Structures are given as C-alpha cells and as structure tokens.
Amino acid sequence: MRKKILLLVSVALIMTSCSNILEHQAGNSINKYYKALKDQDYEEAFKHLYLFDKDPSEGETSLSSNEAKAVFLNKIKNLENENYRVVDFKIKDIEYEDGHSFWHEIVITIEHNGSAFDYSENAFYHDGKLQISGEDPFIQFRDGKMDTSL
C-alpha cells in the first residue's frame, strides 16, 4: 500500500514538473518573440513562430524554411508601410484548459501612425513554437500563418 502511494505521489510530481518546464519554455519563447518585435528584429521573431498554411490544426506549413521566412518578411513590410511597431508587452497570466493545456495571456502595446493602442493576445506553445492569436487588427501580418494572399 505504501509503495502505491509513493508511486502515485511520484507520478503526480513528475507531471507537475513537466508542466512547469513547458510553461517556462513557453514564457522564454514569448519573451524572445515580443522582444524581437520591439527591436524590429523580424528574423528573430520568425524563429519563434509556429508556421502553418491555413489552420494550425492541419499541421505545419508545406513551405520550406526559406520560403516561409520570405512570406513572413513580406507580411512584415505591410506593418512597416502602416507605421506600425510593437512598443511594449507584458505576460499577464497563464490559463489552463484541462489541467495540462495552457496558454499565456499577453497585453501588447503597439504604435500605429503615432498613436498607442493596447491589445490582448494569447500565445499557445505548440510543438516548441508560438501560435499567436488576439484582437490586434494587424496580427495577421506577424503571426505564423503562411497566407500569401495578404
């Protein structure tokens, strides 16, 4: 009986520490992604995104790494043409769905044509990369969707 209890406690501790490790990795990636956007280092920001063609549930993009980077950097040109830049961000909270699925809530401050705006975003840690969603009307130009029609 004592061995079963120790086994259950050990399994619970292992599962908790794995979740904490993933949360830490996600937080690290989020900080690098948004800092790169602030610094206008778009190639660095690109490295942290989960890249997909139409829908993230369908899997990663079919584009090569070089093709995907070209699409992303082309999308970024739209932001530059709009006088858009990320000026600040803050990880607000971590939300859990089913005990192990989680996402980070982020407040991002952008400047667009000289005016500052705050938007809420969610960052999901997906296969070691970030999947970004939120209310920023320009998010489609800095997310991982490899849509060439923009």
What are the residue ranges spanned by the domains of the chain?
2-141
Q: What per-residue confidence (pLDDT) applies to 41?
A: 97
Residue whose structure tokens are 């829908």: 55
Give the C-alpha separation, 41 to 46, whole Å.
9
Give the pLDDT confidence score for residue 5 in this predicted structure. Answer: 61
Question: Which pLDDT belongs to residue 23?
Answer: 85
Distances (CA, A) of 85 to 49, 66, 120: 18, 24, 16
Tokens for 52, please give them: 């997909």
Which helix (H) or strand (E) segment is 51 a member of? Answer: none
Q: What is the CATH number of domain 2-141?
A: 3.10.450.50
How would DSSP label each residue in 77-127?
HHHHHTTEEEEEEEEEEEEESSSS-EEEEEEEEEEETTEEEEEEEEEEEET
pLDDT tens series, the chain, 150 aa: 666 665 454 444 444 444 578 888 888 999 999 999 999 999 999 999 999 998 888 889 999 999 999 999 999 999 999 999 999 999 998 888 776 688 899 999 999 999 999 999 999 998 889 999 999 999 999 999 997 765
Grouping H, G, I as helix, E, B as strand and the rest as coil, residue 52 is: strand
